[in-house]
Amino acid sequence: MSELLARHRAVMPSWLALYYETPIEIVSGKGNRVVDADGNTYLDFFAGIVTNMIGYDVAEVRDAVEAQLARGVVHTSTLYLLRGQVELAEKIARLSGIPDAKVFFTNSGTEANETALLLATHARGSDQVLAMRNSYHGRSYGTIAVTGNRGWKNSSLSPLNVHYLHGTDRAHPAFAHLSDAEYVDVCVADLREVLSTTAPDVACLIAEPIQGVGGFAMPPDGLYAAYKEVLDEQGILFVSDEVQTGWGRTGTSFWGIGNHGVTPDMMTFAKGLGNGFAVGGLVARGDLMDALPANGVSTFGGNPVATAAANAVLDYVLDHDLQANAARLGPVVLERLAPLTGLSTVGAVRGRGLMFAVDMVDPASGAPSPTLAAAVLEKTRELGLLVGKGGLHGHTLRMAPPLTLTAEEAEEGAGILVEAVTSVDSTAA
């Protein structure tokens, strides 16, 4: 492994981070477990960054991809009719709840969000965009511009004029004394104040219902509905970034934004839809999608192999009602994790469906502690569990296991995490 790591560092950029003091190479997987090159087996609670949504070596997906490969057509481009792409678009348009919806496929969430920003700025004739503090929307020039997390912004230059809103900083000293309803009122008042300082015709608000890289931080339910009432007064569009929250992961809604009781003008998606195959896209009102004046194609977006996989994945999610599984098992995991808040190194435990997070803090000061989060990450790996990190300060452990998680695996993973955090706490206090 040291030889492969040396080769990686010689040819890959230094900012391409690797987990663990001794990084691992995952070589095989089955169900919700993976095996590394040294033969160690792990229960996967991070799923390739919320991407291996139905686990590993799924027969239905493998059969669909192999059937497409057997036809000898891996690629034709969007200049030709693609049956699998049309079928997938029909399903997503129907599931979106967006009136007269149309779908455009890309390769990633970054590209999907770029497309949403393009549609919104064209429709409104404006470069002004509202985004959320602590947000993450991708690694391209435009999506970095609307990302509200300094740790993921590689440039202060921007093609957009961006204004950031409150929404997931409920624990900030300025707001901690407020009820959820009072916090929403304060945020809405701030939105109106922000709009009073901008030029007319703001293009859109882009927001994650639950912030992924931001450490699964989430606003109180109903905040985005309250925001949309204000946006609608000025015709400002609302884009829901569902790259990490779509396909039933939150349990209580098929799309994350559903927990706010609002239908956006556009939704972006990626990650879990392909269960590892590269596919993303945008579903939007037809009038917005059709309004672009120039030609456009997507060379690889929605290609025959990716859409074969995605159709199989989406059918699997619906046929097995995996949203219900997330709704059933998410509370089980959270109940097991809740007692961790009694430890001096744990600042908070939160989650919804199969998305949950633990904030690690310095036991003396209560300040965010990325060092302790890294220590827990190492300990969970040692105990046979893969989890992720995130948060504004890199101090949050975040978990998003496959939606196919079993009750036994939920108990096992939660137990390992509790053991790991408790172990680190005992040496840090």
Nearest Cα residue to 334 out of 215, 217, 414: 414
- Residue 129 pairs in a beta bridge with 162, 204
**225 pLDDT more than 70:** yes
Is there a single domain that holds both residue 145 and residue 245? Answer: yes
pLDDT recorded at residue 199: 79
Is there a single domain that holds both residue 128 and residue 180? Answer: yes
Rounded to the nearest integer, the mean pLDDT of the chain is 97
Determine the structural domain holding residue 280 and report its residue range.
Answer: 63-319
Which of 302, 319, 336 is the last residue in one of the domains?
319
CATH of the domain at 78: 3.40.640.10
Task: Summarize the confidence of residues 393-404 as an average pLDDT.
Answer: 97
Which of 268, 286, 319 is the last residue in one of the domains?
319
**323 pLDDT more than 70:** yes
Paired tokens of 364: 């003396």
Give the pairing of strands 396-399 and 101-106.
unpaired
CB 122 within 8 A of CB 380: no
Is there a single domain that holds both residue 134 and residue 277? Answer: yes
Q: How many CB atoms lie within 10 A of CB 21?
A: 9
| CA pair distance 86, 315, nearest whole angstrom | 15
| CA pair distance 123, 292, nearest whole angstrom | 8
CATH of the domain at 396: 3.90.1150.10
pLDDT in tens, 417-429: 999 999 999 999 6
Is there a single domain that holds both residue 67 and residue 200? Answer: yes
Q: Poorest-confidence range of 57-61, 195-199, 348-352, 408-412?
A: 195-199
**9 pLDDT more than 90:** yes
**1 pLDDT more than 80:** no
pLDDT in tens, 42-51: 999 999 999 9
pLDDT in tens, 263-297: 999 999 999 999 999 999 999 999 999 999 999 99
pLDDT recorded at residue 377: 98
pLDDT tier, 313 (very low <50, low <70, confident <90, very high otherwise): very high
Determine if the pTM surpasses 0.85: yes
Q: What is the DSSP string of 50-109?
A: HT-TT-BS-HHHHHHHHHHHHTT-S---TTS--HHHHHHHHHHHHHH--TTEEEEEESSH
pLDDT in tens, 331-365: 999 999 999 999 999 999 999 999 999 999 999 99
Is there a single domain that holds both residue 305 and residue 383? Answer: no
**200 pLDDT more than 90:** no
Burial of 10 (0-12, 13-18, 19+ CB in 10 A): exposed
Nearest Cα residue to 283 out of 132, 95, 78: 95
**65 pLDDT more than 70:** yes
Nearest Cα residue to 140 out of 116, 164, 168: 116
| CA pair distance 172, 296, nearest whole angstrom | 44
The SS3 of residue 352 is: strand
| CA pair distance 77, 100, nearest whole angstrom | 25
Is there a single domain that holds both residue 283 and residue 361? Answer: no
| Residue percentage of the chain with pLDDT more than 90 | 97
Which of 319, 335, 356 is the last residue in one of the domains?
319
Is there a single domain that holds both residue 162 and residue 251? Answer: yes
Q: How many domains does the chain have?
A: 2
pLDDT recorded at residue 198: 87
Q: Which helix (H) or strand (E) holds 183?
A: helix 180-197
Task: Summarize the confidence of residues 147-175 as an average pLDDT.
Answer: 94
CA angle 202–206–208, rounded 5-degree value: 160
Is there a single domain that holds both residue 88 and residue 185? Answer: yes
Cβ contacts of 296 within 8 Å, gap of 6 or more: none
Is there a single domain that holds both residue 205 and residue 129? Answer: yes
Give the pairing of strands 101-106 and 41-44.
unpaired
Q: Poorest-confidence range of 192-201, 206-215, 351-360, 381-390?
A: 192-201
Amino acid of residue 272: G
pLDDT in tens, 81-132: 999 999 999 999 999 999 999 999 999 999 999 999 999 999 999 999 999 9
Paired tokens of 32: 């919700």
Is there a single domain that holds both residue 235 and residue 96? Answer: yes
Task: Summarize the confidence of residues 7-34 as an average pLDDT.
Answer: 96
Is there a single domain that holds both residue 237 and residue 346? Answer: no
Is there a single domain that holds both residue 361 and residue 341? Answer: yes
| CA pair distance 118, 323, nearest whole angstrom | 31
Angstrom distances, CA of residue 385 to CA of 1, 12, 31, 376, 394: 19, 26, 14, 11, 19
